[in-house]
A = this chain, B = another copy of it.
């Protein structure tokens, strides 16, 4: 190309930009756009090239930093005293780059010490917590008046728009993983947020029900004809005892069925059989001793959390050793394999943006033996 034409083009592209305009040639074009440097990496690629990268956080480090933070920050000040996992690949993005493990999902480790309270608020992002450490009793999340106890491995939901606070009346500290779809909701421009105190002049909401009220209805194949719980998933509580029993019983029966991905249970909304949240798929899986999955790639961001046993998650050329509570992120279309070399079962929890990919119509997966 003559440098004169090239010069003219450059001048024209500047003019375009001054009108809040660009063009395909300098942004999307697979071979031409890179020359202009407007985008660091191509947008239209043959296969997904997500910004997020595979990465691992080890629990001992997370826990140590969380306690260090607790020396520096009182819970009343903090509103939520936690440590957020930030995907190194997202750092070039403002906002998301300082809060998100994936463009669509959030992960943090939160501490509520014995005697502490995290005050009540609501927000449009959906949230759940996976309990990592808890006292035998006394640690609760309260969701729209429902008081739900928290034990290791339990999953507790605080859906979009629901008032929620956390209280530790137990004798030891409680630590959990917070999973949210907040980066997606923020990106969409859909954040509504409010402190309970702003409306009701107090930090804690009144308690009207317990987890046993919920389990005795929505957790048993039943549905009240009249209820005030609203439109969201009413089964706010998935105790680990049930999930583990389900995994154990299923893995004893299954043979070929669980070869590809291990024995997998999906947490569902009993009112429609769909995922626990409209935006996030929560699952728990068991790999038998001395077993491994197929090589898998899917169009979803998956966060894995170790629950029991030690294993390995291979992503491309990297191998992440997974001990209990370690956390790994696998980005879309990255091939991964889970390996259990031990003599004991490996149990992993995971959450992902699979429902979003499915609703948008672009979910794909490949499972190779």
Chain A contacts to B: CB under 8 angstroms: 5, 8-9, 12, 15-17, 19-25, 27-30, 32, 38-40, 43-52, 55, 57, 61-62, 65, 68-69, 72-73, 77-88, 92-95, 98-99, 103-104, 108, 123-124, 126, 160, 181-182, 184-194, 208-209, 212-213, 216-228, 231-232, 235, 238-239, 242-243, 245-246, 248-250, 253-254, 257-258, 261, 263-273, 276, 278-279, 283, 299, 301, 331-333, 353, 356-357, 359-362, 364
Contacts and interface: CB of A to CB of B under 8 A. Distances in A.
A79 B29 contact: yes
A94 B341 CA distance: 42
Given A20-B87, A103-B187, A356-B188, A219 B220 contact: yes
A65 B19 CA distance: 10
A231 B192 CA distance: 33
A356 to B, nearest CB: 7
A61 B98 CA distance: 38
Number of copies of this protein chain within its complex: 4
B188 A99 contact: no
Nearest to A264: B225
Contact of A124 (B22, B250, B362): B362
A80 B55 CA distance: 37
B188 A72 contact: no
A185 B360 contact: yes
Nearest to A62: B21
Given A19-B57, A29-B78, 10 more contacts: A23-B83, A25-B77, A104-B188, A124-B362, A187-B187, A188-B360, A213-B253, A224-B265, A226-B258, A268-B271
Nearest to A87: B20
A94 B39 contact: yes
